[in-house]
Every structure is written in structure tokens, then in C-alpha cells.
Structure 1
Amino acid sequence: MQDIFKPSFILKSFPEILKYLPATLEIALVSIIIGLLLGFIIAIIRIKQVPILNKVLILYVSFMRGTPLLVQLYLSYYGIPLVVEYINYRFGTKYNINNIPAMVFVFLAFALNESAYTSETIRGAILSVDKKEIEAGQSIGMTSVTIMRRIILPQALLVAIPNLGNTLISLVKSTSLAFTVSVMDVMASAKVIAGRNMRFFEVYIAIAIIYWVICLIIEIVFRKVEKKLNIQEREIADDRG
């Protein structure tokens, strides 16, 4: 039985796998930051019903939410070099496709995917804000920017935080797909270790624990942020009362 399953190998795997944890966290953080920025812009455009752009973005969000992230990652990885190659052919440029790091394709695919999901979260959160409060802000001469900053965003953030936390957790787990385009992250490291030692079960237990701990930390952080925002919202409501 000892030869079939070695619990000690689980602990032995951690140090080597964790060497690549920064790459996994980098993918998650860069993607969520870009995704939030793009998602906010998309949400505002859709709320404002900007002609043409609104319809284009509805199609974009539908496509990104309706197709697997792995497929989007492959489209990014194989599609961008084709676009660069066409530009070279069409305009006589000499951009070197081989100089594009695989991480760029990962950032692009993950960020665009996140922007589609976060845009719907942000849009729903903004629309949940009581219109009477917005009208009250307008009646006392607040500008649109001030209303957004002082009335809409604080309340929308409170509504959006739980979903944004779930989105980030989902993103961290999805980073395990990055190894499919030759990015060395914790998942890629685990596969190498498992293949080298033929201890797949032990190594995958180790990688499962790592992802689990990361997601638990994110969950705890977002719960604390949500609790703090709730307290602040109650204090503001009491002041208004």
C-alpha cells in the first residue's frame, strides 16, 4: 500500500510547485484589473445605450460568456500571431511573432473573458441604485461625475462585491488552463512533477490544496470588505436619517 500511495510525497511536492505561484497570481491579478476596467467601461456604455457600440458589446458579452475560456485562450494564442503575420504581409512590416511571450496571450484571453462577466455584475449593481437618490443629487447641482463618485459607486460596490469575489475565485481556478499554451504556472509545474515521478494522485492532491487555500484567502478578504462596506453604508444611512 505504501508504494501505491505516499502521503509524504504530497508535502514533498509543495516547495517545487510553489516556486511558480507568482506566475499564477500574476495572471489572476493582471486579468482581474484589466477585466474590471474594461467591464466598467462596457457597463457604462450599455447603461447609456450608446448607439452601435451597445449592440456590438451585447454581442461581445454574449460570445465571451457563451464560449469556453479554453477556446478563447486558443483563439488568442493562435489568432494573434496570424493577425501579426497578416499585418506584416499587408503593410510590409517585420514584426517578430516569436517575440510575443505566451503570457501575453493568457493576459488577453483572461482579461477579455473577465471583462464580459464583470461588466454584467457592474451594470446590474449600478442599475440597482435608487433613482431617487440620483435625482436628489441632480437637484442640488451635483455633476454626473460627482453623482457617480459619491452616490452610485459606493452603493453599487456594496451590491457587486460578492459577485466580484466569486469571479476572482473562478479566475484563480481558471488559471490552471494557462499551461495549455506553455506558460509555467503551478499547474504546469504539478504536471511536470507528476510525470517525472509517476505520482499523479499525490501531486494533484497538493495542487488542489494550493488552489483551495488561495480561494479561501480571497473569500475571507472579500467577506471582510463586504462587512466593512455594510457598516459604512449603515453609518451613512443613520446620518441621513
Structure 2
Amino acid sequence: MRLLRQLVLVLALPVLLVAVWWVASDGSQDVYRPPLRTIVEVFPEVWTAERWTGDVLPSVLRLAAGVVLAAVVGIALGTVIGSYRRVRAVCEPVLEFLRAVPPPVLVPVIMLFAGIGDTMKIVVIASGCVWPVLLNTVEGVRAVDSVMSETARSYGITGVARLRGLVLPSASPQIFAGLRQALSIGIILMVISEMFAASNGLGFTIVQFQRSFAIPDMWTGILLLGLLGFVLSVLFQSAERRVLAWYHGLRDATRGSS
């Protein structure tokens, strides 16, 4: 019963928005805004098995590689910067400068060093996704309970044992918040990176549809991007619930007692 209620809450607003779009666009004669009925009808004709393997799968793999790379770099650097005050004082001005540079602006620069292949696209995705992970990791590490830190120190728990048993578990809710933001940014950068010197991918295909005035086909790509983002968000939340089961259980217990 609880699962059914959660499913209704998750799907209620999307279903309502689709219904409004369907009714509002029905009978539209605008070339650039075709009825949703038309978009749905051409969807299976556009996104055949060949397109799924040739365009969708490469995009998802690039996205996954970029987010994983950003997670590794962000968590590693964020742990070091958050753990040492002097390192944080030295790195903070540089981090603020680099964070202010929009990742799409770096695409031409990255192309000079990484070429126009998959490496460039993965680096572009990682360059934007690393910041929410890095900054949330820094804040999570800094927020480790001082009493628990002193207790660990008094018992001689230092180094890797302290990192694995105290720092990373305490910072993990913040880290996952950064990873969730990184996933949303990664989808945007995935599309942008595939608009530059690409031969496949969702971004490339949508631009090709637009240039050839295949407007309903272009809308199917946009719809597919939305569905992809929704599915990835649901999968991420499911993984987060499993990894942070202890945290959510503790928070629910705290709410219940209050």
C-alpha cells in the first residue's frame, strides 16, 4: 500500500502535465509546435533499435563515464580540502575562480587538447559535474561531529580507518546531494558536448532533426531526454535509499520521537 501511494505521488504531476499538453496542443496547426498526438505517433518510427544503439547508448555511456570521473575527483579532492584548513585556505580562491567559468565555454579549449572524440565529451561532462560533488564533499567533511572526531582520536583511530569509518559515512548525505546535482548538470552537458563536432548521440541527433526541419522528430528527441532524466533520477534515488538506509532510518526515528 505504501509503495502504491509513493508511485501515485511520483506519477501524479507528470501525468497531469502530459494530459494538459495533450489537450492544449490537440488540433495545433503550428509547424514548430505539433500536437503531442503527432509526436507520440512518430516516436517509435524515429527511435528504432538502430538509433537506440547508435545514439542513445553512446550518450548514456558518456554521461556515466563523465559523472563517475567527476565523482572520483570531487570526492578525493573534497575530502583532502575539507580535512585540512590550510589546504582549504590555499585552494578556495582558485576553486571559486574555476567554478565561475561555465563549462560550455571550455568546450573549444577542451577540443584543442582532447580532440573531438568521446574523450572530449567525457571531459566536458566531468568538468561541470565535479563542482557540486567537490563543494558538497568539502562541506560534509567539515561538518563531521567534533565529539565523534575527538572520540576517534582518543581511541587511536586515524588515517584510512578514520576516513573509512567516520569521515566518509558522516559526509555521505552531503556527497549524495552533490551527486544528484551533478547528474542533472551532466545531462545538460552531455547534450551540449554532442552538438560540437559529433557524429552520434542525442544532442547530435536532435540538432540534425532541427536543421532538416523534421520538427516532430526533434520533439521526440526532447521528450526522450526528459524521460531519460526521469529514469536516471528514479534509479539514483533508489540507489541512494539503499546506500544511506542508516541515515534515512535515523532521520525517520528522530522525527518520530519528536
With the length of structure 1 as denominator, give the TM-score of the two structures. 0.76
Shift, 1:54, TM fit: 5.5
Once the two structures are overlaid, the 10-residue window that deviates more, 139-148 or 213-222, is 213-222
Shift, 1:227, TM fit: 3.0
1:74-115 per-position Cα deviation (integer Å, ceiling 9, x unaligned): 22113x27xxxxxxxxxxxxxxxxxx4522222223223322
Match of 2:153 in 1: 138
Which stretches of structure 1, 4 residues or more, deviate above 6 A after TM superposition?
A: 234-238
Say whether 1:67 aligns with 2:117. no
> Could you say if the C-alpha distance between residues 235 and 110 of structure 1 is closer, same or farther in structure 2, counting changes exceeding 3 Å?
closer
Inter-partner Cα distance in structure 2 for 1:50 and 1:220? 39
Match of 2:92 in 1: 58
1:18-97 superposed matches below 5 A: 18=52, 19-47=54-82, 48-50=84-86, 55=90, 57-78=91-112, 80=113
- For residue 118 of structure 1, what is the amino acid of its counterpart? V
Identify which of 212, 220, 242 aligns with 1:228: 242
Identify which of 118, 134, 158 aligns with 1:103: 118
1:164-215 per-position Cα deviation (integer Å, ceiling 9, x unaligned): 112212211221111232122112012223434x222x22321222221222
Inter-partner Cα distance in structure 2 for 1:107 and 1:41? 19
Shift, 1:226, TM fit: 3.4
Match of 2:208 in 1: 192
Match of 1:211 in 2: 225
With the length of structure 2 as denominator, give the TM-score of the two structures. 0.72
Identify which of 47, 56, 67 aligns with 1:14: 47
Identify which of 113, 131, 143 aligns with 1:128: 143
SS across alignment from 1:20: helix
The answer (yes or no) to whether the contact 2:132–2:179 under 8 Å persists in 1 is: no
- For residue 220 of structure 1, what is the amino acid of its counterpart? V
Shift, 1:60, TM fit: 4.0
Say whether 1:172 aligns with 2:205. no
SS across alignment from 1:180: coil
Match of 2:3 in 1: none
Inter-partner Cα distance in structure 2 for 1:103 and 1:171? 14
- For residue 213 of structure 1, what is the amino acid of its counterpart? L
Q: Which 5+ residue runs of structure 2 have no aligned equivalent?
A: 1-27, 254-258
Once the two structures are overlaid, the 10-residue window that deviates more, 156-165 or 30-39, is 156-165
- For residue 180 of structure 2, what is the amino acid of its counterpart? G
Match of 2:18 in 1: none
Once the two structures are overlaid, the 10-residue window that deviates more, 63-72 or 119-128, is 63-72
Match of 1:96 in 2: none
Shift, 1:130, TM fit: 0.8
Shift, 1:9, TM fit: 2.6
SS across alignment from 1:227: helix
Aligned pairs, number: 215
Q: Which 5+ residue runs of structure 1 have no aligned equivalent?
A: 82-99
Shift, 1:36, TM fit: 1.4
Match of 2:172 in 1: 157
Inter-partner Cα distance in structure 2 for 1:44 and 1:143? 14
Inter-partner Cα distance in structure 2 for 1:159 and 1:46? 15
